[in-house]
Amino acid sequence: MKIAFVAGLSEKKLRQKLAPLQALDFVDRIDLYRRAPFVDKKIHWQEIPPWARRWTLSGDLYRLLSLLLGGRQYDLIIACHQEYHGVMAWIAGSLYRRPVVQMIIDEVDWVFANRLYRRAVLAANACAVRGGMSEQRIRDCGYAGPVTIIANPYQVPEGLPNDRQRADPRYDLICVAGLVEGKGHDWLLTELAAVAKSRPKVRLALAGVGPRQAALRRHVEDLGLTDNVAFLGWLDEPQLQAAYRSCKALVLSSWHEGLPMCVVEAMAVALPVIVTRVGELPWLVRDMVDGIVVTYKECGSLADGILQVLDSPEVASRMGRAARERIQELSMQWSTSSVAESWETLIAALSENTFVKRVSP
């Protein structure tokens, strides 16, 4: 089987998404339509010349043209539905009558709020979602085709921070998220200012890059939080693990999400998490057990959650232990082999319903 895979994603997340497909014996080749180079076993990056990669728009148009020119050769087209990637796959699939799988990795309602994205999803031959809440929601939104939960493979890291690190952390809180509108950083900073009134030395680390960095730095200054907030920028995997292990809790203030891996990673190293009630987070994080779940932009809710964790080390420790146990339990179904089986089930359903199989899974 030959697959076209349309995505953006960081290299880390891309490897997580591709590994289960690479593990399937009947998948011979995966052509990757992504602006940046990426090559691995069975993966063939569809090269974009440097002049086209210089600008986002030219790179995306080149990707679309390449997919349209080569679309006839594929048995299956898969798109990580990050905005227009799903639209690219839909156009190519419609042109050549090839089956399309849309991977809904964000909030279902956020995707369906856009007419074009909604149309691309509803036309898909099958959808992959991040969890049961998303599966139910996509059904509620009118999608009638096959839906399968496709998780990111994840293995719990060995070891935990020692007591000294926890007793004297570099930061109180860490937020790992792109500096983009949907992550709710402005609200987080406003709530942090309320926390600082009773804890003037509270420290927040923002890990991530994005177009809102300059605006957020100005917001930090306007709120008088210059000494309270550190911008860490992009962190590689060892740096990120070190950052998790030198904080007391993770906070995520997003107004739309799927199942963010930063929450999984933080829970795995026994960090309590303070998150919003979006996407799969109400399922992943058991409120007041593994962390605290709040309503987005409910005034004072995030500040109250932060104070609950910071003011009670015993509660934070209990939540952290429960969080790690939660991820250890879930990681059994998040192995590469388990996720590959989910893909096999979905592709088999497509083979039976939408196109003649060239190979048998």
The distance of Cα 265 from the centroid of its chain, to the nearest Å, equals: 11
> How many other C-beta atoms are found inside a 10 Å radius of the C-beta of residue 239?
13
Percent of all residues in the chain with a pLDDT value above 90, rounded to a whole number: 87
In-domain check, residue 58: yes
Q: Is the pLDDT of residue 204 over 80?
A: yes
Dist. CA 174–CA 203, nearest whole Å: 9
Q: In which domain, by residue range, is 116 found?
A: 2-153+335-353
Q: What is the 3-state secondary structure (H, E, C) of the chain?
A: CEEEEECCCCHHHHHHHHHHHHCCCCCCEEEEECCCCCCECCEEECCCCHHHHCCHHHHHHHHHHHHHHHHHHCCEEEEECCCHHHHHHHHHHHHHCCCEEEEECCCHHHHHCCHHHHHHHHCCCEEEECCHHHHHHHHHCCCCCCEEECCCCCCCCCCCCCHHHHHCCCCCEEEECCCCHHHCHHHHHHHHHHHHHHCCCCCEEEECCCCCHHHHHHHHHHCCCCCCEEEEECCCHHHHHHHHCCCCEEEECCCCCCCCHHHHHHHHCCCCEEEECCCCHHHHCCECCCEEEECCCCCCHHHHHHHHHHCCHHHHHHHHHHHHHHHHHHCCCCCHHHHHHHHHHHHHHHHHHCCCCCCCC
Q: Considering the chain, what is the average pLDDT of its residues?
A: 92
Number of structural domains (the chain) is 2
CB 118 within 8 A of CB 111: yes
pLDDT score for 157: 87
Mean pLDDT in residue range 245-259? 95
pLDDT score for 138: 96
Q: Indicate if 181 and 309 belong to the same structural domain.
A: yes
pTM for the complete prediction? 0.91
CB 57 within 8 A of CB 70: no
Q: Indicate if 229 and 132 belong to the same structural domain.
A: no
Q: Indicate if 232 and 88 belong to the same structural domain.
A: no
In-domain check, residue 242: yes
Summarised one tens digit per residue, pLDDT across range 156-173 is 988 776 544 455 688 999
In-domain check, residue 300: yes
CB 216 within 8 A of CB 253: no
Summarised one tens digit per residue, pLDDT across range 105-118 is 999 999 999 999 99
Task: Provide the residue count of the chain.
Answer: 361
71, 74, 80, 85: CA torsion to nearest 10: 0
Summarised one tens digit per residue, pLDDT across range 75-101 is 999 999 877 899 999 999 999 999 999
Q: Indicate if 16 and 98 belong to the same structural domain.
A: yes
Dist. CA 327–CA 259, nearest whole Å: 13
Q: Indicate if 349 and 311 belong to the same structural domain.
A: no
Q: Indicate if 109 and 62 belong to the same structural domain.
A: yes
CATH number at residue 43: 3.40.50.2000
Q: Indicate if 182 and 315 belong to the same structural domain.
A: yes
In-domain check, residue 359: no
Q: Indicate if 168 and 146 belong to the same structural domain.
A: no
Q: Pick left, alpha or beta for residue 210 (phi over 0 → left; psi -120 to 50 → alpha; otherwise beta).
A: left
Q: Indicate if 171 and 129 belong to the same structural domain.
A: no
In-domain check, residue 158: no
Dist. CA 189–CA 187, nearest whole Å: 5
CB 12 within 8 A of CB 22: no
In-domain check, residue 361: no
Q: For strand 126-129 and strand 43-45, is the pairing parallel, antiparallel, or unpaired?
A: unpaired
Work out the pLDDT band at 359, boundaries 50, 70, 90: very low
Q: Exposure string (b/e) for 52-83, b if CB count within 10 Å is 16 or more?
A: bbeeeeebbebbbebbeeebeebbbbbbbbbb
CB 138 within 8 A of CB 108: yes
Summarised one tens digit per residue, pLDDT across range 274-289 is 999 999 999 999 999 9
In-domain check, residue 223: yes
349 compared with 353, residue with greater pLDDT: 349
pLDDT score for 165: 46
Work out the pLDDT band at 131, boundaries 50, 70, 90: very high
In-domain check, residue 183: yes
Q: Indicate if 187 and 271 belong to the same structural domain.
A: yes
Q: Indicate if 135 and 216 belong to the same structural domain.
A: no
Q: Indicate if 170 and 318 belong to the same structural domain.
A: yes
pLDDT score for 351: 74
